[in-house]
Amino acid sequence: MDALEPHHRDKFEEFKSITGIENDSDDDKIVQLLTIHDFNLNNAISTYFDSGFDSIGNSSSVNVHDEDDSHLTHRHTEHHPLSLMPRQSEAVNLQHQMFFDSFLPKLPKAPIIPTGWQLEVGIHTSIIEDRLRRERQEEEEEEKLKEDINEATESIHSNESASGRSPLNTIWIILLIIPKTILNVVLSAFRFLFGWGVLKTSHSKIPSSFNYDKFIPNYKFLPKLKEDGDGSLLDSFVFHEDNFNEVHQVTQKEYRWLLVVLVNDSVESNNFLHALIGHPDFGKLFNKDTGLFKETEVFVNNIDKSPEAFQVAQTYRAKRIPYLMLVGNISASPEIMPSMSILYKSNLSSPFVTDDELPVTTNKLLKNLAKLLDRFNPQLVSARFDKQEMDISRQIREEQDNAYLRSLEQDKVKKEIKMQEQHAKKLAEQRTNLRHFYLLRLLQTKYIESNVLDEDSETKCKIALKLPNGKRIVELFNGEISLLEFYMYIELKLYLEQQEVELDAIEELIDQLDLDDDTKHSIQDIKDYYDQYSFKFDIIQPYPKKVIHLEDFEQCIKDIAEFSKGANFLIEFNDDDDDDDNEEEESE
């Protein structure tokens, strides 16, 4: 303990004070425990409270740090190298583990491409359209010039035939032809002398900028590829020729592989592409139905014709064409967060894509791809399963939420229906009670005796009535009453018979009705009553049989022929009466 440095001695003393160790015989063990944890006081105290000094026995020897390299700890053991793997009883320094993980080489990032090329395409598309329009105009002018020359030649020939051949005319014709020939000869000599076109550039190198002289608007590479090769073979893979960023995002979200193959106009690169796609191992790996890695998306295009493909080559710093690249949402280690990274890329120079070397090149490429795919594909498979589980969990939550919302909506609808039913029932009860109230009030005020059967009336009509229950009534009616009052008399008689109302208990029955004052006064007279409650019976004259309809309800009964002296009527309920009675019984 005397060999400890001052700052280590401070941590030693602090360890003893926190843990409460007073026995000096444990000092060596405390020093060993602190040394194992690089004098990290928190880790050492945590280990002590978890297992005491037992963790010291898991290491046979410990190397104390140097001053210049105090942040690394090398632990040696007498066991097999496999014993270096952390065990439950062994203390693991997570800070060191993260430190050593930082030394792992990281895979190159695979970004999306900039979209500035789209602006260039728009500009050059308009330029090409203007150029084509000018070329058409120049062709038309050349055709017109040729026609003028032919006309002049024909006129000269006609003059020569008439006056003989003239040397000047012949020289004139030669001068019309010679300038173009002389110009071609001069240009050829100039190229030969200064080396233009003598040194051929390599077809495999990528130019610094896209040559828009070769640009074809709306160029499609896959149809041409199908014409040159086996179209049915190409249908066996998931090919893309444009929208690189969209394909990139799909492969990132769906955890799929992205294979990029870029070619140019050279014969070698196109031969390489056909040889690669037609190789049996390519189908075994990437066939969309039977391939080992059938989830692979293949992006292929010509950088000499497609500005987007050229932008892909520039973004990923391709040096030569053909260019092959494998991209995936992976990491160098499963413990590291994955991202879109370049797993493999190959810049093939011309000697490797010759007819002799092409089979060997494709075999090596596919072999390397197969090894890397076998190594890193478990990451994508695991990520896809995790994504599926998350999607299923999210779908289940959404279904549960939707079911809960539907349940709430159903409960709301049921509650509204119940409230409507309760409101309708309340209105029906109120309507029934109002009818009872009005009829009882008429009986209380002796409406029949004071109006219908007025004995002081000079005009009287003797009428016999037979009620639906068979009871017969014969009364002298006041002839001045209206037909509506006569109907009201029958309504009161039927009410007395149906409800079995005792005249002495009318006031008590009125008090039992639950009605507010506004509702009670909503019916002012029998006309209001008739508007709200239609009569549920018919007055029928037996012979000749005739129904006394309530058409002119203000007409006096004395003025109606059927109400002459000795009139007999049958009272019968109409069809709606039974339903109304049932409703009243339910409301009661």
- The amino acid occupying position 145 is L
CB-based contacts of 489, cutoff 8 Å, min separation 6? 448, 452, 477, 481
The answer to whether residue 42 is domain-embedded is yes
Residue 164, pLDDT above cutoff 80: no
Q: Please check whether residues 244 and 386 belong to one and the same domain.
A: yes
Q: Out of 71-80, 197-206, 350-359, give the one with best mean pLDDT.
A: 350-359
pLDDT grade, residue 207 (50/70/90)?
Answer: confident
Peptide bond into 322 cis (omega under 30): yes
User: Higher confidence at residue 514 or residue 344?
Assistant: 344
Q: What is the pLDDT of residue 524?
A: 82
Q: How far apart are CA 484 and CA 490, in angstroms?
A: 10
Q: Please check whether residues 349 and 224 belong to one and the same domain.
A: yes
The answer to whether residue 455 is domain-embedded is yes
Q: Please check whether residues 381 and 521 belong to one and the same domain.
A: no
Q: Please check whether residues 472 and 375 belong to one and the same domain.
A: no
Answer whether 467's CB lies under 8 Å from 493's CB. Answer: yes
Q: For residue range 454-495, what is the model confidence (pLDDT) as tens digits?
A: 666 677 788 888 888 888 988 888 888 888 888 888 888 888
Q: What is the pLDDT of residue 451?
A: 72
Mean pLDDT on 421-432: 89
Q: What is the share, in percent, of the chain residues with pLDDT greater than 70?
A: 79
Residue 198, pLDDT above cutoff 50: no
The answer to whether residue 333 is domain-embedded is yes
Q: For residue range 351-360, what is the model confidence (pLDDT) as tens digits?
A: 888 888 899 9
Q: Please check whether residues 231 and 375 belong to one and the same domain.
A: yes
Contacts 24+ apart (CB under 8 A), 359-364: 359/275, 361/272, 362/272, 362/275, 362/276, 362/279, 362/282, 363/279, 363/281
Specify the number of domains making up the chain: 3
- Share the mean pLDDT of the chain: 78
User: Higher confidence at residue 239 or residue 7?
Assistant: 239
Q: Lowest mean pLDDT: which of 184-198, 277-291, 412-426?
A: 184-198
Residue 97, pLDDT above cutoff 60: no
Q: What is the pLDDT of residue 212?
A: 82
Q: What is the CATH number of the domain that holds 365?
A: 3.40.30.10
Q: Please check whether residues 256 and 358 belong to one and the same domain.
A: yes
Q: Lowest mean pLDDT: which of 58-72, 305-319, 402-416?
A: 58-72
Q: What is the pLDDT of residue 325?
A: 94
Peptide bond into 544 cis (omega under 30): yes
Q: For residue range 313-328, what is the model confidence (pLDDT) as tens digits?
A: 999 999 888 999 999 9
The answer to whether residue 129 is domain-embedded is no
Where residue 24 falls (left for φ over 0; alpha for ψ -120 to 50; beta otherwise) is alpha
Among the three residues 16, 31, 54, which one is the final residue of a domain in this structure?
54
CB-based contacts of 536, cutoff 8 Å, min separation 6? 573, 574, 576, 577, 580
Six-digit token string for 119: 């602006």
Q: Please check whether residues 357 and 474 belong to one and the same domain.
A: no
Q: Give residue 313's domain range.
A: 212-391
Q: For residue range 534-567, what is the model confidence (pLDDT) as tens digits?
A: 888 988 988 888 888 887 778 888 888 788 767 8
Say what angle helices 116-163 and 307-315 make with each other, to 10 degrees.
130
The answer to whether residue 481 is domain-embedded is yes
Q: Lowest mean pLDDT: which of 119-128, 167-176, 386-395, 463-472?
A: 167-176
The answer to whether residue 547 is domain-embedded is yes
Q: What is the pLDDT of residue 68?
A: 36
Q: Please check whether residues 348 and 484 belong to one and the same domain.
A: no
Residue 204, pLDDT above cutoff 80: no
Q: Lowest mean pLDDT: which of 112-116, 185-189, 306-310, 393-397?
A: 185-189
Residue 62, pLDDT above cutoff 60: no
